[in-house]
Structure 1
């Protein structure tokens, strides 16, 4: 009997294990964040980029952290059960977004297949990102999220044929290649589990890893790829944009987590350690200057600071790295909190508006000889900041960040509504109130600032009223240097994140108004196009620029679709988005335990 009992117990245990494995693999819950070390890398040893000789190998390799993940607070708020009326409205809006995406995808498929971009007016094609099918790769996860399975399968079959050893470009932008291609493949793999996508991610990762083959292991961000292909030695540049060197962390780290190969994590962590060491010694402690030196590893010299273009994602990735790794690198929370504190104190301003709206805009800063000067500018791109502060506020229990996030998002919504076509321009200036507490509308003060800025630009200016009419300045705006809208996603990105975190119903209506305005203004016969001037009167159609960057399908329409999805679709408690809106699986305590149990 004892042997029979032991066999019975063993059989029961085996059956139970198989059932658990079946339930695990068919569950709607995401699979583990780790896979077996090196499971997916051995067969790639002969790949060109991996087989190239290394001129400056790292003297040591930092392993991936193995501490227990932190249990962060939930980012998403609990949502009440949806009413039938609300569901009908939401689903109608979601279908409208999907229809626009499907139209654009169909035209890309017909006129620009495997090119980087479709020219949405002429029907031509463009290749500004290496000619490696940027739109196709950027849209893989959007196809999956929207349930367009046949199109996804066809796109994957095309993606596996991309050759990352050939390009007509003299140099490639490592940052853009990282966020679009590496991020796109990783996300599509994380969502679908298709091993072919992971192999392509490894190919891109191996290529980009060669950009770190310099004497000090700092990367070349505008990279002469042909010199690398020919085996030439290279040196990191003495001057580069801070975003381009500080925004490689999510993609490299996630690739290391998936493959178990720490080399990508080690590569980017060297950069971030140096940046962390110098964060408190800049001219504006907590923030890094816009231009830094990779060659000399100097990240603290310079007097221009911004959270906008050319710096944005270096700050964006700080709390996102914390979320991605389950808090196993406390360094990133510390870096974020220093940056957020400095930004709220110095970069944010409340603009004077006709109805005294309680909103915030993020400007640029100069710090010279101890004097800090605010440039009260605004950018569509910097609208990402509301989403960033929402994430940081939730993850790290910082109510001041969430308060700022709400006012920043409201600022972006207000700016959209203030323009004739309901769309924010690329850049603008406003008149700041003396403090964040606000100020009363003063038309004469506004006009005085309009005149001052115009005289700085054009010495032959006439009356201020003529300038306002000529430049089509809505009340509150003192200048609009760049009147374009290039299909940017940042405003809807932050509205989506804030909605998932707070559940404010008004955000859904703001998102819908934004979508309708964008689509009606940018729609072409084939797809959607950037436009040159959103300050024109409502009845006058802006000129189409015949440009549709890959982020229109990879980011903008994805965020519009997700805000009108069920709130558990790509939950912010399960995923974290890279700066190109590619969701990566977060490492959370539950998932780590699941992995360890198998």
Structure 2
């Protein structure tokens, strides 16, 4: 019985334990739900429209035979398995709806890009927003720390709540710092926000050529090239995911990584739309898992965000991937959520007095919360190349604040162009974006200082007539007792004598000026006032007043102005190249993106094109006389008509301009500009085809033609450009040859004189040992001539300094010498046989002379400079040019190629692609194929492709860098060059400077 009761107690306690475990399990479900991983739901099924991808209204579905090769591998199970292994994540609440039912917005939500064999698009990641809304009840959301850039390590969000909401975070045990939204110092009132243009987009002329159906042979050739381009993409992507997943860039030679862009997986984000466009859906879905883990609110690599690069690569990459994958209908909501997360952080850069952005943004809250102002020396490209990304985000989210941020920059450029720049229409490379006229501030400060000086003078004169009247002079001892800083004032005071003026209480007081301050003394006089004060205290108080005055002067007294030149020198630089390029590129593209509803962009582009044609375009003088163009760089002190210094440069970054002129010519109906675009693009193709590697250098120079329509190759002129000092060089050579001739004449006369002297000795004392030449040592001409200097002087020969002025002349070997060194050996010198005739041989360090029977002294073979040139001789013009070409490995036509690297840049193939799509001329495909083969052959590595350091060599060394734009731009442009022309049609899409396609409004 006792045992049974004991069991009852056991059962009772067991029941309690089970109940507690059950309750604990139920209580934990709430937290598990809050931090659950992203559920994997099927996206709405996609159709494969009969018209193909991006086909225009002008084209029928029957025109296109090319479609993507889709990937039907089922990822659902793989994604679920990976999700179970990942740390639990926080839901991101709904963004503002992107539907257009009640907004009146005319921008159509983009439809997904589809292919004939990729209709199954259920394997995507979506957020279960309803479940997140029900379970997220805690007022503070804990964001776990992440090891940024470590791929699968860690998970979490960087932004929570609706766009623009204040984001609250709690830190974990680590010291990771996260960005959070801070109050703005210079907010824009709600009614002052510039809204997106509204209304139906204007009719815009077609950009893309209407391609006809291609032949079977042409199609096979194109598809073969297409496959090879994709193979490069596959290898590069696999190398990145294997060795650098989660990091910014792959080092393809050493198979490591680097993180120049905050460690937010730049290559992965940059390449998202390329993966989709190339039909690499499996890789795209794998990348989605990594995108979800990026935390833009923190970085362990940089304390400053490079705003320009971050905007075009990350923000542009996310928005474009959202567009090409179908937008809202595509089901990849994470892309838009991450874009908004990043945009909210970047919006802090516009919080300045004039709303011009800070372009290197310290995101850490203690610094981000401080007032800031834009910089005075920013580049045009960094300032003006944010427009497309923020505009497209505003269109998708219906948030005007994103458009307002960049519209103010556009307005500033428009205002500056209207006010006028040194070269009307275009802008100097460096811009003062502070909004403060420093010159005006200096002028105002100078006027203020002059006014203060005038006031001080008036006060001093007033004190002369009133203050110091009747003051008793001080003795010398009394003055000496004061501090040094007051002695001058007291000596001045002694020279004045005046009665004191009554103060407010009837007593007299005296004014003393000390370091600009007034000191009031009682009726006892100035001396008693000074003597009663401690000198150190007196000086301290005066100095304190002075500092307060200076602080007041140093307060920010900004004289408002618009954009202005920002160079630290008086020189301004204008070009279409680096630090300037993409701002000009964005003017016509923004016009397209806004449906032609904002006319400022057309005005901006039209004036830029006119300025470039007038000031920068030139035809180079190169072999074969090709009809090509390049864009130069101008440096001016403010009057380019007279002081312009032109660099006739050929730079890879400027190669985008062919596509810009081509597109601008089409949409603004300027056929001349399309032709200019062709010739500019052909210029970059020429630069590729005429180097040993087949790749264009980063930067070079050429000879400009005097006339664009009358230009022929002139090698003499080309050599003169290679050697700008050719005139003075020829003069130096002529002078040197003249001097050498004089030296030879003197040397011959000297040798002849010595021969006569030695012959006389030999014939007079033939039996004496003194009568023979001592051949036991080389003969020293200085020693021999020194003993008979009077005889030499009497003969009229000037021998002074012969061996000092003329360097030793290299000589050939003596016929009797066994030496291979070119000099006569001391041991090999034999005594002459006088019975054979009066021949004297002398051996010195520099000369061999012989005297023939008739007494003449011929030049030795060593004096023949054609065989042994003098090393001190200046180079002739011909020698200099030949040496320059050889040492620098310059191809014909290039004057210099000092920047001879290639870092996998896309600008040249970008313009080739535009020209093909605009003109329909398939020769552009052939030109591009030569470029592709050259690039791949020189840059390929096992894990990807690497930048090289010298395109003027074949098999140049690799620099172990693979920029993110290799996958994002260069390979994308090559792929699109050989794809179905309807893929990313220029009549439906517009690409940012990083080749990210944004959907055009319809």
TM norm structure 2: 0.54
After superposition, the C-alpha distances for 1:81-105 in whole angstroms (9 at most, x for unaligned) are: 1111011010000000000100010
2:690 to 418, 438, 451: 418
Q: How does 1:213-228 map to 2 (within 5 A)?
A: 213-226=351-364
Equivalent pair of 1:358/1:438 in contact (CA under 8 Å) = no
**For residues 388 and 604 of structure 2, what CA distance do their matches in structure 1 show?**
15
Q: How does 1:104-253 map to 2 (within 5 A)?
A: 104-167=236-299, 168-192=301-325, 193=327, 194-226=332-364, 231-253=369-391
Equivalent residue for 2:849? none
2:261 paired with 1:261: no
Q: CA deviation at 1:300?
A: 4.0
Q: How does 1:19-34 map to 2 (within 5 A)?
A: none
- Say which one has the larger Rg: 2
2:976 paired with 1:562: yes
514 and 237 in structure 1: CA distance in 2 versus 1, 3 angstrom threshold = same
552 and 22 in structure 1: CA distance in 2 versus 1, 3 angstrom threshold = closer
Q: CA deviation at 1:57?
A: 0.5
198 and 533 in structure 1: CA distance in 2 versus 1, 3 angstrom threshold = same
**For residues 1000 and 99 of structure 2, what CA distance do their matches in structure 1 show?**
14
2:403 paired with 1:279: no
Equivalent residue for 1:427? 699
**For residues 662 and 890 of structure 2, what CA distance do their matches in structure 1 show?**
31
Equivalent pair of 2:433/2:564 in contact (CA under 8 Å) = no
2:196 paired with 1:57: no
Equivalent pair of 1:453/1:479 in contact (CA under 8 Å) = no
26 and 407 in structure 1: CA distance in 2 versus 1, 3 angstrom threshold = closer
Equivalent pair of 2:432/2:564 in contact (CA under 8 Å) = no
SS at match of 1:463: helix
Q: CA deviation at 1:122?
A: 0.2
**For residues 120 and 277 of structure 1, what CA distance do their matches in structure 2 show?**
46
Equivalent pair of 1:292/1:298 in contact (CA under 8 Å) = no
Unaligned runs of 5+ in 2: 1-43, 56-96, 110-128, 130-159, 169-178, 436-560, 733-873
SS at match of 1:548: coil
2:951 to 534, 551, 556: 534
1:299 to 535, 551, 563: 563
Equivalent residue for 1:494? 911
2:996 paired with 1:587: no
471 and 97 in structure 1: CA distance in 2 versus 1, 3 angstrom threshold = same
Moved more, 182-191 or 368-377: 368-377
SS at match of 2:723: helix
Q: How does 1:352-367 map to 2 (within 5 A)?
A: 352-367=621-636
Q: CA deviation at 1:328?
A: 0.8
After superposition, the C-alpha distances for 1:259-314 in whole angstroms (9 at most, x for unaligned) are: 00000110111111111111141000000000001112543436210110000000
Report the aligned-residue RMSD.
2.5
Q: CA deviation at 1:26?
A: 6.6
Q: CA deviation at 1:434?
A: 1.1
Equivalent residue for 2:200? 68
Unaligned runs of 5+ in 1: 1-20, 589-598
Q: CA deviation at 1:160?
A: 1.5
SS at match of 2:701: strand
SS at match of 1:500: helix
Equivalent pair of 1:352/1:438 in contact (CA under 8 Å) = no
Q: CA deviation at 1:156?
A: 1.4
After superposition, the C-alpha distances for 1:539-592 in whole angstroms (9 at most, x for unaligned) are: xx100000000000000000000110000001000000000000000113xxxx
Equivalent residue for 1:574? 988
Q: CA deviation at 1:190?
A: 0.3
Equivalent residue for 2:613? 344
SS at match of 1:374: strand
225 and 43 in structure 1: CA distance in 2 versus 1, 3 angstrom threshold = closer
**For residues 233 and 221 of structure 1, what CA distance do their matches in structure 2 show?**
15
- Which of structures 1 and 2 has the larger relative contact order (alpha carbons within 8 angstroms, sep 6+)? 1
Equivalent residue for 2:595? 326
2:716 paired with 1:444: yes
Equivalent pair of 2:621/2:893 in contact (CA under 8 Å) = yes
SS at match of 2:724: helix
**For residues 225 and 42 of structure 1, what CA distance do their matches in structure 2 show?**
19
Q: CA deviation at 1:374?
A: 2.5
464 and 269 in structure 1: CA distance in 2 versus 1, 3 angstrom threshold = same
Equivalent pair of 1:367/1:373 in contact (CA under 8 Å) = yes
207 and 476 in structure 1: CA distance in 2 versus 1, 3 angstrom threshold = same
**For residues 80 and 455 of structure 1, what CA distance do their matches in structure 2 show?**
59
Equivalent pair of 1:283/1:300 in contact (CA under 8 Å) = no
After superposition, the C-alpha distances for 1:224-255 in whole angstroms (9 at most, x for unaligned) are: 22266652222211111011001110001111
**For residues 454 and 573 of structure 1, what CA distance do their matches in structure 2 show?**
54
